A and B are shown apart, each in its own frame.
Chain A
Amino acid sequence: QKEVEQNSGPLSVPEGAIASLNCTYSDRGSQSFFWYRQYSGKSPELIMFIYSNGDKEDGRFTAQLNKASQYVSLLIRDSQPSDSATYLCAPMTGANSKLTFGKGITLSVRP
């Protein structure tokens, strides 16, 4: 079983729709969970993180965490073409706060 799995992509949504990006993880010791956005040819950019079960909202983005199900998701409301990128899920574990990344899911927002 892979440590971090992100649902298969690519994902394509029309402009203005809600994009739902899902991620499951295997390490129950994971304490906090980070979402990064990576544009083609660029480095990952931190969008938001979550550490408690439930929802956390930041503008058009909502992160959801269910530790019992080992599941974390990112919702993007009112999707814009500029949201087209690869989204990386990364649980943080260990004393060294290591990030373990999924393969990422590519989102395409159609104008």
Chain B
Amino acid sequence: ETGVTQSPTHLIKTRGQQVTLRCSSQSGHNTVSWYQQALGQGPQFIFQYYREEENGRGNFPPRFSGLQFPNYSSELNVNALELDDSALYLCASSQKGLAFGEQFFGPGTRLTVL
């Protein structure tokens, strides 16, 4: 069984730039959720993708967008980067329809915005 993978591991960008983060879900899972974790805080829900469509969104501006592909992998795109976007970005995969929908996290992408 393949676990959740994310790329890249680390990324440094400057304000105003755009970034794309990638996530491959665990085998057998059809749902990907994205979270942002600032230093010293718990993860905050950005959005979830299921069947290639956004299935719920947290309190994040539209410059945060995503995609899900037929193989269930997903991308998170952030436009017009701001300093406060510096954080650990986590994706979590799960199987919708599974009784309790446990979510399993990937290793994360550490984004630094200068």
Q: A: which residues have CB within 8 A of B?
A: 4, 32, 34, 36, 42-46, 49, 51, 88, 90, 92, 94-104
How near does chain A come to B22, taking the closest CB pair, in angstroms? 15
| Stretch of B12-20, B60-68, B79-87, B100-108 with 4 or more beta carbons under 8 angstroms from chain A | B100-108
Q: Which residues of B contact A100 (CB under 8 A)?
A: 45
A43-B90, A94-B56, A95-B56 known; A101+B42 contact, CB < 8 A: yes
How near does chain B come to A6, taking the closest CB pair, in angstroms? 8
How many pairs, one residue from A and one from B, have CB atoms within 8 Å of each other in the complex?
67
Q: Which residues of B contact A45 (CB under 8 A)?
A: 105
A44-B90, A103-B42, A104-B42 known; A97+B101 contact, CB < 8 A: yes
Report the interface size class on chain B: 20 to 34
CA distance A42 to B6 in the complex (A): 13
Please state if B43 and A97 are interface contacts (CB–CB under 8 Å).
no
CA distance A88 to B90 in the complex (A): 14
Return 20 A-B CB contacts under 8 Å, by A number: A32-B100, A34-B103, A43-B105, A43-B107, A44-B105, A46-B102, A46-B103, A46-B105, A88-B43, A96-B33, A96-B48, A96-B50, A97-B101, A98-B56, A99-B33, A99-B35, A99-B103, A100-B45, A101-B35, A104-B41
Instruction: Give the one of B42, B48, B58, B102 with max A CB within 10 A.
Output: B42
Which parts of B13-54 form the interface with A (CB within 8 Å)?
31, 33, 35, 40-45, 48, 50
How near does chain B come to A102, taking the closest CB pair, in angstroms? 5
